[in-house]
Amino acid sequence: MKITRTFVLSGVALLALSGCSSAAPEAEPSPSSSKISYTDGLHAKVLSVETANTISVDIDGQTKEVRLLNVVAPTEHNNEFSGSCLIPESTDFLRQKLPEGTEVTLDFDNSRVGSSGYLEAAVYVGDDFINADVVREGFATTTFLSQRDEHYAPVSEAQQEAAREGRGIYSKDVECALPHAIQLHIDRVHQANESDDEDARISSYKAASRFYNTLMSTAKSPNTWIGSIVTLDAVKDQLKELKNALGKNYYDLQGKTEQEKQSEANEPVRPGS
């Protein structure tokens, strides 16, 4: 029995030794799997442009999708007013700015991955701040996690400039743009003021008032697509023009004009009511 047990134990030991000697040495990590240090000044090479705020880049042999920080591009899935405006034009603009092979530098905010799940970065070509360039030409809006975002201010200033100059999605001449829609309501109210058709006049006043009220409510959410546009000085001025055009024919959120509310306030209170 002792001989048998010794034989079996010896066999197990030989198998263990054999297994150790035949095991392949642990592979060295390849360059493509090395960890990237996401610090300001990170160099990358543009592989492609997907949308007006999303690019594919090569970083140390790894392909990464980068979203332009504080920039929201129009997309076909954006249901907000003018959110799907000038999609091809905005993408083409960024492709011209960042052709394949362009060397870029990436800077980051406090959190390098945004709520979208993308790597978010401020993209530079030399001293040229690409995020602001796209917005300045009226091909995107700006957004923020907080107004203390490190790169938000220059992008926001670029958006104000685009609105003042009436570029891209801030143009009254672009049919899908919000300023164009505001101007249409202003023109319709002026036409209604000169119309003899009372029903048509009231219909125009109510439509313009609903439109105005909807837009004003979005100003409470300036980090959204439509809210970002409504809070621009040039657009706020245009909305004031619409409200002034309506004058006493403006219908509030309860669907009443100032004159109607005044009449109700002056109605005598019935006994027992």
Instruction: Please indicate whether residue 15 or residue 19 has the higher confidence score (pLDDT).
Output: 19
- What does the H/E/C string look like for 41-78? CEEEEEEEEEECCEEEEEECCEEEEEEECCEECCCCCC
- Same structural domain, 119 and 75: yes
Instruction: Please indicate whether residue 264 or residue 129 has the higher confidence score (pLDDT).
Output: 129
Within-domain flag for 49: yes
How many structural domains comprise the chain? 2
Q: Whole-angstrom Cα distance, residue 125 to residue 38?
A: 18
Structural domain including 211 reads 178-256
Instruction: Classify 103 as helix, strand or coil.
Output: strand
- Tens digits of per-residue pLDDT, 187-207? 999 999 999 999 999 999 999
Cβ(67)–Cβ(53) under 8 Å? Answer: yes
- Same structural domain, 150 and 66: yes
- Same structural domain, 84 and 142: yes
Within-domain flag for 136: yes
Q: Which of residues 165, 190, 220 is at a domain's end?
A: 165
- Tens digits of per-residue pLDDT, 75-103? 999 989 999 999 999 999 999 999 999 99
Q: Can you give the pLDDT at residue 70?
A: 94
Q: Can you give the pLDDT at residue 122?
A: 96
Q: Can you give the pLDDT at residue 71?
A: 96
Within-domain flag for 129: yes
- Same structural domain, 160 and 46: yes
pTM above 0.75, yes or no: yes
Q: Whole-angstrom Cα distance, residue 118 to residue 120?
A: 6
With pLDDT > 70 as the criterion, what percentage of the chain qualifies? 81
Question: Please, what is the average pLDDT of the chain?
Answer: 86
